Structure 1
Amino acid sequence: MAARKGPFKLVTVNTAPERAKRLIGRLIEVLEDDYDIEHVDNCENIGEVVPKVTKHRPDVLFSASMWSEEEAAKIRSLAQSVVPDIKTHAIPQGLQVERGPEAVVEYLVEKVPALLDS
């Protein structure tokens, strides 16, 4: 068995912090055998991205599905202005609304390992 990869510090950008915590908790559970991921904070709005990324220096940042592509791009560039090599991922807009939280967890389980390994 390969060693677990990480630890990875993760910050989310989600207007519903409890939901972010729950969904990321599920993701961490599914991937825990292979990856050591710690959800260190959530930004409830775009204005919190720079201060929280500055405070935590995370390895990874996810923007939730409530943000438009433009907003997700802005979130990414703000995070990269603080931590240039931060890995970021924008959950496709509307995924949570259209297919529910299970779909978001499944989507992340599929996408995150490649992102963390990159």
Structure 2
Amino acid sequence: MSSPSGPYKLVTVNTAPDRAKRLIGRVVEDVKDMYTIIHAGNAASIDEVKSVVEEHQPNVLFTASMWTPEEAQQIIAIAKGVVGEDLKTFSLPQGLQVNKGPDAVVDYIKENLPSLLG
């Protein structure tokens, strides 16, 4: 059995930091055999993205499902402006948490991690 790939330093952009921490905590635990993911920080607003990304220098950034596609693009552009084009980004579909709940968010992230992290 091979060791997990990573570590990947993750920053989330979520207006509910505690929820982000809980959900990412579940994902990290569920995929720890395949990936080592460190949830380094969370930006609770678009205005916080630059400073949080500068502070933590992540190689992965997730935008939560409360953002519109346009806002998610803006967040990603800000983050890539700080750490460069190598940043891996993942945007949850708008409304996923509201419409399907936290389990759907965790499952969606886990389904998409292999293509994101290679």
Question: Equivalent residue for 1:88?
Answer: 89
TM-score (norm 1): 0.97
How far does the alpha carbon of each residue in 1:5-25 deviate from its partner, in whole angstroms, 9 at most, with x for none? 001000000000000000000
| Deviant stretches of 4+, over 3 Å | none
Aligned to 1:92, what secondary structure does the other structure show? coil
Equivalent residue for 2:34?
Answer: 34
Distance in 2, Cα, partners of 1:45 & 1:27: 22
Q: TM-score w.r.t. structure 2 length?
A: 0.97
Alpha-carbon offset, residue 112 of structure 1: 1.4
Within 5 Å, give how 1:22-101 maps onto structure 2. 22-84=22-84, 85-101=86-102
Offset from partner CA, 1:72-93 (integer Å, 9 cap, x none)? 0000100000111110010000
Q: Match of 2:115, as an amino acid? A: A
Unaligned runs of 5+ in 1: none
Equivalent residue of 2:101, what SS? helix
Aligned to 1:8: 8
Overall identity of the aligned pairs, in %: 56
